[in-house]
Amino acid sequence: MTETLIGLVSQYSPSGQERGAVEWLVARMKALGYADAFIDGAGNAVGVIGSGPRQVVLLGHIDTVPGEIPVTLTPDPSPTGRGELLYGRGSVDAKGPLACFTDAVAQVGAIDGWQFVVIGAVEEERDSDGARFVVDKYRPDFAIIGEPNRWDRVSLGYKGSAWADITVKRGQAHTASGEQTAAEAAVEAWLAVKAFAENFNAGKTRAFDKILPTLRGMESGQDEFEQWAKLKVGVRLPVEMNPGQWYQELENTLKVFETFRVLVERVGYAVPAWSCEKNSQLVRAIISGIRSQGGTPSFVYKTGTADLNIVAPVWQCPAVVYGPGDSALDHTPDEHISLGEYARAVEVLAAALRKLVTPSA
């Protein structure tokens, strides 16, 4: 059962260098009996089983952050350990979930009236180019997104994100004038952004419901006539505030700097937060699958973003995020996954898919 996982993790594939891993996964899907397996126009690996009018899309990502980790197997030392631990970049984030999708769908096979589509998307760790490509290509009845949340947990939400450069400019002044510098005003601008977030967050207990701004960088400079300072600001957004609202609040908050020119420049792709429906047929099927393996299901809402944020607002179907692995190990030099946990997750997902498409099962 672990051949797919070990083989996929062995294909080092940081964002922009996924081709080898994609080709390997397509070949693996064919070997597992997928009716069709191919590389799509964005470079995603796609495998299809079944041809019915109803569709389940299982969307994982095949790229990783940079930093190759030697692929090794070691005994699991934990008291509840089952089997071995697999070390390697992407074993958790998120080749573990993607391999789980691949194996579980192969185990279920074709079901009358249904089509399973497994996608290993590229570029998730950067601009989600793979997910942005497929969002208009499919209209599933159910969507499962692959991210590590442990085998016995279901994630029901991911925060949104937005990025901006805030530049403060003013005319030159003598250093002995006592006038506020552009750099000093930029510090005040950041404190104003933080104060807005703190006011918004008052009374909210869950991080998922809060605005979480971060100062990612700062630089300053000057020429003969002007001085300037630039802040690189990121924010994790709750469902209550979409990126457009955030940018407007940012503009309003910084209007108070009347003696300075303050420019807010949107950077990259902004994505809204998304919260999944908890009482859906899909969630109930995965809960049933977890219980079938002796687990006690639990739910989690994450403070990061995922391809869920890209596809769920468009597909508008029941969706969840599922996958084995400890997300605390994401991007770390110690990234590893328990083969025992992986095997359980495959069984959970296979049982969930059977129940989902054949409710009497």
Two tokens at 6? Answer: 């070990």
List, in sequence order, the alpha helices (H) in the chain. 3-9, 19-31, 95-108, 129-134, 182-201, 243-254, 281-292, 308-315, 339-357
Q: Is the dihedral of CA 276, 280, 281, 284 positive or negative?
A: positive
Q: Which of 76, 93, 124, 209 is catalytic?
A: 124
Instruction: Report the relative pairing of strands 54-61 and 298-302 from DSSP bridges.
Output: unpaired
In percent, the amount of the chain with pLDDT more than 70 equals 96
Distance CA 161, CA 164 (A): 10
* Residue in 18, 63, 76, 129 annotated catalytic: 63
pLDDT at 77: 80
User: To which residue do tokens 């971060």 refer?
Assistant: 214
Alpha carbons 30 and 28: distance in angstroms, whole number:
5
Residues sharing a CB contact under 8 Å with residue 241, sequence separation 6 or more, in sequence order: 160, 200, 211, 249
Question: What residue type is 156 in one-letter code?
Answer: L
d(C-alpha 251, C-alpha 245), whole Å: 10
pLDDT in tens, 271-322: 999 999 999 999 999 999 999 999 999 999 999 999 999 999 999 999 999 9
Walk me through the domains of the chain, giving residue ranges and CATH numbers.
3-158+274-357 (3.40.630.10), 160-266 (3.30.70.360)
CA Rg, the chain, in Å?
23
128 φ, ψ to 5°?
55, 40
Q: Which whole number is the average pLDDT over 34-52?
A: 97
Q: What is the mean pLDDT of residues 244-256?
A: 92
DSSP element (H, E) containing 165: strand 160-171
Question: pLDDT > 90: what percent of the chain?
Answer: 87
Can you read off the two tokens belonging to residue 274? 């998304």
**In the annotation, is 125 catalytic?**
no
